Structure 1
């Protein structure tokens, strides 16, 4: 039976939920507060230049994300550049780890044997970690920090600095000393521990809005759904057996059979706190709803900064992206650098430098941070011209992701009220072994769960 369903939030979770519900014959209304779909993975403009609000990298293991892209007529093979699993630093500045195109697990073994910049004790430590993780089925009886896990498995300081720390920060956007080891193992299991293609790194060739959200909106509206842009939802009211929504510029809309809240945790918490009933003007909190509210209130957040540097269009790095060693004491903030021109010719000469978990970096004036990152690139890449970009732009998302801690209790998709669900990368699948950190794939998976529940 067709239902009229409201999806609040036009990020990747909201767009994926709207698409799946539309495909199942429901009538969907998608509400987005901003003018651009995509949430924390969307196109923005800096000084008139179209860029993303953060440089992203995906994995071949992102099964649900790739599937929902294909379902609206997109071809991930054209939109994403697929590279083998790698951790490659500028020559002489770290290590060179590159997985060849061999069946799993031989691709990782060959990468380990060929890796440059690692001593034999480092390689043995990496092999030991992989073997022990497989032996325990990538599961911990009691979660701990990633740092504790690495210490328990006798990982060497050099391997931690060049491999495990940057991987942890890139995947969880949380430093190893406070990051969940179980969530980290989940990501490693589905990438390093799975089929070779699952470990491939997928870098967007186009802007993040065009990568899926724009096509998702077109799909929903062309199939009878409604898109409300610039319409922040102000409150929800339980209206008989359904739901009533009040949004900016629209007013009050009733007769929704179900609502999916697909916003960031703090926005979801505000909507849940403001719930009311059309007859009593209040909703008596049940245990499940109280638990959800309490869990949302406990979230803390981690920032991400992306620094864009524009050089002469003839500039080209040796690789599409490279790892960098951050060292705040030397004002080296960058952790990864991407050559946008190798991904999209329209961005020739533009580099994107990512600083994850960037608490210290975001305290600096943006011009100072850009200058220090440009100096870092010039030093490690041994190219003086990199110290003087033609243009720079800095985007800092202070609450880019939740802090993925071992003790974090994530809410389920069900709020405790009939046909009122939560979707987002912060929700739990109900099984700790299936939970992901704050990634596009986690957001899409949560959306699919909501669609299945309805």
Structure 2
């Protein structure tokens, strides 16, 4: 008899696990509490504009996420750089770039750093010994997770200038917190994996299409083609043991399953799983959360020819041109992406307008004289878990004390920060555990 697997949660981790299990012959039911799939990566319509809830990027080293897109038939929905280059607007508005050459790592970054005008020549030199020391650290070393990245940088000669123009420029975007608040272990993982260990790993990819068209709808179709059941507006209230399997209780019905993948956020997962699973709810709650805010502006005319740009010395962190992605035939649609956005999370849209429209005009002079037609804000209060020192001890393994009940999510012990890549990897791992524990190791 075909094994029935219930996947709880329709974000990237849940979708990945469901696709894997459907391919391995399981009868899959995916349950999502909200009215849509995608978790923290989804699209919506705003006055005819195809908008994403947040600007998501990927790197060439996101091999599992890119593999998922290829499998779903949407791999061409990513525009991936041939060679890493990151345009940066310095404090005085000067445009400079961080880029790589075709040489081997870590020398591939040396020439680009030498020309990086956001830092003085002395500060560019200051970075080199810290980068060399960082490359020698092992992100799997438990001691690294007890220390903040900022503390380590200070001990290795970094100053406020190098923090603002390099280390925080990357750590805030990658870890959703600045260096002083980030786990050294996760920071080492980011910098080594993306920038220091392999020359092409940090080549940047941005979606050509809305996120729903990139992975949500393709995954939904992929599952439907394999006779999986996908249900939205289906909140799960409890998972309990039921003989050799599990009972999954919704508001008005009860499903039985041979295995369950819980791909919900950590606090929800703790509340769903039975006590015998061995999850420690208090530990999961201590993971906490960190927000991301996006400010969306549509101008009547183009104001920049940059596809994206980072900033130094500005409340604006990153600017992305989403005109083509949104399907606009005129004007220009820009998104300001604000990570570690606690200070902006509850700021009214009116105040955000008063802050960011003038700042866009300063950074992009054409914007100061161009009327805008739309201004709106999206806020993800729990965009990621809080990737602070001590995080590694709090992230649970995907297996639980109950065979057949497994966890998935970027918040589990993937070894990666909370990214799309981490979510997909966790989905693969969860499906592998179910395969081994319930499906008899079927490939």
Q: TM-score, normalised by structure 2?
A: 0.90
Alpha carbons 2:164, 2:313 under 8 Å: kept: no
Q: Which residue of 1 aligns with 2:430?
A: 450
Change (3 A) 1:19 1:334: same
| Cα distance in 1 between the residues matched to 2:45 and 2:9 | 21
**Greater Cα shift, 131-140 or 30-39:** 131-140
2:254 is the alignment partner of 1:252: yes
Quote the residue 1:297 is aligned against.
285
Q: Which whole-Å CA distance do the structure 1 matches of 2:2 and 2:60 have between them?
A: 34
Give the aligned CA root-mean-square deviation in angstroms.
2.2
**Are the equivalent residues in 2 in contact too, given 1:334–1:354 (CA < 8 A)?**
yes
| Structure 1: distance between partners of 2:156 and 2:86 | 21
Q: Secondary structure at the match of 1:427?
A: coil
Structure 1: give runs of 5+ residues left out of the alignment: 276-284, 328-332, 430-434
1:269 shift after superposition: 1.9
Aligned match of 2:421: 441
CA offset digits 1:272-309 (Å, max 9, x no partner): 2xx3xxxxxxxxx44x614x323212121111100110
- Greater CA deviation, 414-423 or 91-100? 91-100
The one-character-per-residue Cα deviations of 1:89-134 (angstroms, maximum 9, x if unpaired) are 2364366233245133242122122322322222212221221122
The residue aligned with 2:133 is 132
**Residue pair 2:51, 2:326 contacting (<8 A) in 1 also:** no
Q: Does 1:402 align with 2:385?
A: yes
Q: What are the residue-to-residue correspondences of 1:322-401 with 2, within 5 Å?
A: 322-325=309-312, 327=314, 333-341=315-323, 343=325, 345-346=327-328, 348-385=331-368, 388-401=371-384
Pair 1:162–1:387, CA change in 2 (3 A) = farther
Q: Distance in 2 between matches of 1:418 and 1:112?
A: 50
Kept in 2, the 8 Å contact 1:423–1:450? The answer is yes
Residue 144 of structure 2 is matched in structure 1 by 142
Aligned mates of 2:118, 2:364 — CA distance in 1 = 16
SS at match of 1:346: coil
Distance verdict in 2 for CA 1:380–1:449, change over 3 Å: same
| Shift in alpha-carbon separation, 1:376–1:31, aligned structure 2, 3 A | same
Q: Distance in 1 between matches of 2:124 and 2:312?
A: 19
Are 1:222 and 2:225 matched, yes or no? yes
Task: Provide the TM-score with structure 1 as the length reference.
Answer: 0.88
What do residues 224-273 of structure 1 show as CA deviations (whole Å, max 9, x unaligned)?
2111122111222211111122224x62222x11000101112212212x
State how far apart, in whole Å, the 1-side matches of 2:209 and 2:4 are.
33
Q: What does residue 299 of structure 2 align with?
A: 311
Secondary structure of 1:15's match?
helix
TM superposition shift of 1:192: 0.3
Does the 8 Å contact 1:374/1:386 carry over to 2?
Answer: no
Q: Kindly indicate whether the alpha-carbon contact (under 8 Å) linking 1:377 and 1:386 is maintained by their aligned counterparts in 2.
A: no
The count of aligned residue pairs is: 427
After superposition, the Cα gap between the structure-2 partners of 1:243 and 1:318, relative to the gap in structure 1 and judged at 3 Å, is same
Offset of 1:193 from its aligned partner? 1.7
Q: Write the distance in 1 (CA, Å) between the matches of 2:114 and 2:243.
A: 65
Aligned-partner SS, 2:338? strand
CA contact (8 A) 2:360 2:368 kept: no
Q: Distance in 2 between matches of 1:94 and 1:181?
A: 31
CA distance 1:293–1:139, shift in 2 (3 Å): closer
Q: Whole-Å Cα distance in 1 between the matches of residues 125 and 388 of structure 2?
A: 28
Counterpart of 1:118 in structure 2 is 119
Structure 2 CA distance for aligned equivalents of residues 303 and 412 of structure 1: 24
Residue ranges of structure 2 left out of the alignment (5+ in a row): 435-443
The 4+ residue runs of structure 1 with deviation greater than 4 A are: 137-140, 342-345
Question: How far has the Cα of 1:202 moved from its partner?
Answer: 0.9
Match of 2:21 in 1: 21
Task: Please point out which of 191, 196, 200 is paired with 1:188.
Answer: 191
The equivalent residue for 1:200 is 203
Could you tell me which residue of structure 2 aligns to residue 173 of structure 1? 176
Aligned mates of 1:226, 1:440 — CA distance in 2: 23
Contact 2:303 2:370 in 1 (8 A): no
CA shift at 1:402, angstroms? 1.0
In structure 2, what is the Cα distance between the partners aligned to 1:228 and 1:384? 44
Alpha-carbon offset, residue 20 of structure 1: 1.1
